[in-house]
Chain A
Amino acid sequence: MTAEIGHYALVLALLLALIQGVLPIAGVRLRDSVLAGTGEPLAIAQFGFVAVSFTALTACYVTSDFSVFNVFQNSHSEMPLLYKFTSVWGNHEGSMLLWVLILAFFGALVALFGGNLPATLRANVLGVQAWIAISFLLFVLLTSNPFVRLAQVPLEGRDLNPLLQDIGLALHPPFLYLGYVGFSIAFAFAVAALIEGRIDAAWARWVRPWTLAAWIFLTLGIALGSYWAYYELGWGGWWFWDPVENASFLPWLSGTALLHSAVVMEKREALKVWTILLAILTFSLSLVGTFLVRSGVLTSVHAFATDPARGVFILAILIVFIGGALALYAWRAPLLRQGGVFAPISREGALVFNNLFLTAACATVFIGTLYPLALEALTGDKISVGAPFFNATFVPLALPLLFATPFGPLLAWKRGDLYGAAQRLTAAFAIAVLVAAATAALTTGGPILAPFAIGLAVFVMAGALTDLVERTQLLRQRWPVAWRRAAGLPRSAFGTALAHFALGVTLIGIVGESYFTAERISTIRPGDTIAISGYRISFEGLVARQGANYREVSGRLSVRRDGDLIGILTPGKRTYPARGNSTSEAALLTRGFSQIYVSLGDPNPDGSAAMRIYHKPMVLLIWLGALLMAVGGLLSLSDRRLRVGAPKPARKPALQPAQ
């Protein structure tokens, strides 16, 4: 019964979305405020029904109802309860339902908190949002129905892919989807503005919190995915330039550009047409990402089922929305053009610099991700584009952008003083040079690039602090004055500084991991000791144990430094009988920001085992930086100016909302 309720609720949500796709937009056209106001209750009700549907599927999983095909395929009665929950979205159908749930959730948020939007804009936004919902609800119902029943009820399920039985999976997809789908709001705002043919600084102000929220989630989602791959795949890598990873990175890059260009639009009424385009492109890239992952066109470590019906369906969604939005853009954007042109050396100029490099970097990642697909379709040649390509294209574009980051906030609007900004950054630059020199001295014989990159990271961090020091006049005024100035600063200033600072933090982590990782791969016997980066790791033997739904063989290793025992590591190899496959469970020992990483290879009959042992200096900074970026985003989001919203333009009386 539960599955049928879920299915039925989803159909009802589709019907509501269909009405929501027509009435509010028609209301705006007909200048009928009652019709235009139907969007809000419809969006909230639509969310309610999708939520019922999602809850129903979750209930099927928690009660291990194997008569539901999806549950049978992806669950097991002995699986821990947590993973019964997370396997709801650990499969194609369930994760698409989660996608739709989050889409409806954002629609409902606009309906609930969009009170300060002009009624016409709100109606159009909800109308556009409904069309996205319609297409994905149809996708779920027609090609990926999670509620299909089996005629003969199996006694036991086939278990969730063991790689996915992990807390990382519990959090990664929802965050990623909150990011992906959150950008649909920016998209809906852009299309609504094009429909209205009117856009102003206030538009940027309304769009920015939504974009920022989506960006925060996407940042966290990518970081979680990266950390999950790092400890779960057992290779010690944190980013593989895998097409599926790129699929999440593309909207992040263009979303970051969008955040910055929206600032210019809000403050200076410039870059309007560009900002609209970025809003469309960012969600388009989210759709492309969904297509790449969900259609199975890729061969990647994220092995995925191939079902042409789904691929073609998402491709159709892609073409309709991206093509439609861009066509609308080509038609209506010329009407919007009234942005000012500004001096190249100014805050606006710096933000344009940011946008140029971010979009160029985004384009190179896009080409590297899709070129193999295009080439295979055209010539049949199969190629793989991996890390070397992205190191040769993305990195050279990212470096100047990072170097420019501290300058941006120090330049004034309208006309900046580059020389003055450089002067104020002298101290930051000096610190960076010192740290780079110290790094070079301490790591003699190491790669030449590493000290430079560390120096760059320190420059970015010190530059971000310089901005705060300058704004509070910390070094020129007495403490109380500086304190009062700090208290008077908008939170977004701290948010910006923190997010920029975090870029440097992540860069240090990347450099530490890429250049200074020590690695030992060898077969070791019980009693053997391996020395790595000043640690002595002794292998004490293998232990077998039985888990809830798996068997595990794990190695026991003691880690010593200067003779003191500092930890025990137990890397394991698990076999899941339900699916007959196995996973490596790496063991991690954290020391400061560095980690010792051990993963177990095949154990031999004589008790010895092959092991990968790494010392990864500073590796945690990669994800700590991402976390700080997200906190910076949150600080900005909590800024009063964004919460209060833009000054309300006088509404046309005919379009007063119904309630």
Chain B
Amino acid sequence: MAMTRKQRRLILIGSGLSVLALAALLVLTALKDSIVFFNSPTDIVEKQVKPGSRIRIGGLVQPGSVVRNNLDARFDVTDGKTAIQVSYRGILPDLFREGQGIVAEGVLTDSRGFVADTVLAKHDENYMPKEVADALKKQGHWKDDYGRKPRDGEGPK
């Protein structure tokens, strides 16, 4: 059952298109379900982000707010205007400390509480997560000190 040239070409083009369609379908579904939005504490209050949704928040760790009890930690994340209480169980990153910019990913429980399962502090003590810097600028709490140009050399990876 030798196929004609035309049939062969059709099969080639057809299978190409169907793989593309499959990939597009997967991407569209995944973009709907599995992306996480970033919010500043003020965004959460102003946009009235629904509790229960998975989001990222970022800001500075409010000095004096950190309470640790073994592996459980509670601290406030602030953008200078609004503060959200974050609770987290686990080991905090090496560079986590009061006044440090962090990003936390997890679930909002109510308008002022957040349960994080991931806390990211950036690896350079001068480095401010981009989202956090933007959020702070928006609230007028940007100090030039934060923006000190991070040193080059965070690795070529």
Residues of A within 8 A of B (CB): 73-74, 87, 89-93, 95, 98, 158, 160-161, 163-164, 169, 172-173, 176-177, 225, 228-229, 234, 244-245, 248, 293, 299, 301-306, 341-344, 352-353, 356-357, 360-361, 363-364, 367-368, 371-372, 381-386, 388-389, 391-393, 396-397, 521-523, 573, 579-584, 599, 601-602, 610-612
B105 CB contacts on chain A under 8 angstroms: 384
A304→B154 contact, CB < 8 A: yes
* A397 CA to B21 CA, complexed, in Å: 12
Known interface pairs A388-B33, A580-B125, A584-B94. Does A225 touch B157 (Cβ–Cβ under 8 Å)? yes
Which residues 86-118 in B have Cβ within 8 Å of A in the complex? 89-92, 94-95, 105
Q: Are B155 and A393 neighbours in the complex by a CB distance under 8 Å?
A: no
A382 near B154: Cβ-Cβ < 8 Å: no
Q: In the complex, what residue of chain B is closest to A69 when comparing beta carbons?
A: B152
CB distance from A585 to the nearest CB of B (A): 11
A467 to chain B, nearest CB (A): 23
Q: Choose among B33, B92, B95, B124 the residue with the greatest number of A CB atoms under 10 Å from its CB.
A: B124
Q: Are B153 and A73 in contact (CB under 8 A)?
A: yes
Q: How far is the CA of A523 from the CA of B92 in the complex (A)?
A: 12
How many residues belonging to B are interface residues under a CB distance threshold of 8 Å? 52
Contact indicator B156/A601 (Cβ below 8 Å): no
**Is A92 a contact partner of B19 (Cβ separation < 8 A)?**
no
- A393, B157: Cβ atoms closer than 8 Å: no
Q: Is the CB of A341 within 8 A of B9?
A: yes
Cα–Cα distance between A16 and B89 once the two chains are bound (Å): 59
Instruction: List, sorted by A's number, 19 A–B pairs whose CB atoms are closer than 8 Å.
Output: A245-B157, A302-B155, A305-B149, A305-B151, A305-B153, A306-B150, A363-B23, A384-B35, A385-B34, A385-B36, A388-B33, A393-B23, A396-B22, A397-B23, A521-B71, A521-B89, A573-B94, A601-B92, A610-B71
- B-chain residues with CB within 8 Å of residue A610 when the two chains form the complex: 70-71, 91
Contact assessment for B3 and A92 in the assembled complex, using a CB-CB cutoff below 8 Å: no
Known contacts: A169-B155, A302-B155. The answer to whether A344 contacts B12 by CB under 8 A is yes
Q: Which of A163, A343, A356, A368 is within 8 Å of B123, CB to CB?
A: A163
B80 CB-CB contact with A under 8 Å: no
B8 interface contact, C-beta 8 A? yes
Chain B neighbourhood of A98, CB < 8 A = 156
CA of A434 to CA of B15 in the docked complex: distance in angstroms?
Answer: 32
Residues in chain A near residue B56, CB distance under 8 A: 382, 384
The answer to whether B8 touches A341, judged by C-beta atoms less than 8 angstroms apart, is yes
* Contact indicator B33/A582 (Cβ below 8 Å): no
Contact between B36 and A364, CB atoms less than 8 A apart: no
Across the interface, which residues of B come within 8 angstroms of A91, CB to CB?
152-153
Q: Does the CB pair B31–A305 fall under 8 Å?
A: no
Query: CB-defined interface of B1-45 with A at 8 Å, one 1/0 digit per residue?
Result: 001010011011001100110110011011101111110000000
Q: How far is the CA of A16 from the CA of B119 in the complex (A)?
A: 50
- The chain A residue sitting closest to B5, CB to CB, is A341
| Residue contact A579 to B125, C-beta cutoff 8 Å | yes
A371/B31 in contact, CB under 8 A? yes
Q: Which residues of B contact A160 (CB under 8 A)?
A: 153
> In the complex the two chains form, is A383's CB within 8 Å of B36's CB?
yes
Residues from chain A with a CB closer than 8 A to the CB of B156 are 89-90, 92, 95, 98, 173, 176-177, 293
Q: State A580–B26 Cα separation when bound (angstroms).
A: 45
Name the residue among B33, B124, B134, B152 with the largest chain A CB count within 10 angstroms: B152
| Closest partner residue, chain A, to B150 (CB atom) | A305
Query: How far is it, in angstroms, between the C-alpha of A132 and the C-alpha of B31 when the chains are bound?
Result: 36
Known: A92-B153, A299-B129, A582-B94. A386 touches B26 (CB 8 A): no
Q: Is the pair A161, B130 in contact by a Cβ cutoff of 8 Å?
A: no
Does A344 contact B15, Cβ atoms closer than 8 Å? Answer: yes
Interface: B120 (CB within 8 A) = yes
The answer to whether A523 touches B155, judged by C-beta atoms less than 8 angstroms apart, is: no
Is B127 close to A, CB under 8 A? yes
What are the residues of chain B within 8 A of A89 when measuring CB–CB? 156
Supply 18 further A-B pairs (C-beta < 8 A) apart from A245-B157, A384-B36, A389-B30: A73-B151, A90-B153, A91-B152, A164-B155, A299-B129, A305-B150, A352-B12, A356-B16, A368-B30, A382-B37, A384-B35, A384-B38, A386-B34, A386-B36, A389-B34, A396-B26, A397-B22, A582-B94
Query: Chain A's nearest CB lies how many Å from the CB of B139?
Result: 15
Known contacts A341-B5, A360-B20, A384-B56; A302 and B154 CB within 8 A of each other: yes
A164 to B157, CA, bound (A): 10
State in angstroms the CA–CA spacing of A89 and B36 once bound together: 34
Bound-state CA distance A160–B154 (Å) is 9
Q: How far is the CB of B56 from the nearest CB of chain A, in Å?
A: 6
* Residue contact B38 to A364, C-beta cutoff 8 Å: no
With the chains together, A593 CA to B12 CA distance in Å? 42
A364 & B154 in contact (Cβ 8 Å cutoff) = no
Q: Knowing A92-B152, A161-B123, A360-B19, say if A393 contacts B27 (CB, 8 Å).
A: yes
Q: Closest CB of chain B to A261's CB: distance in Å? A: 13
Q: Shortest Cβ distance from A233 into chain B, in angstroms? A: 9
Q: Which A residues are CB-close (under 8 A) to B26?
A: 364, 392-393, 396-397
B74: Cβ under 8 A from any A Cβ: no
Pick the residue among B8, B131, B149, B155 that contacts A342 (CB under 8 A): B8
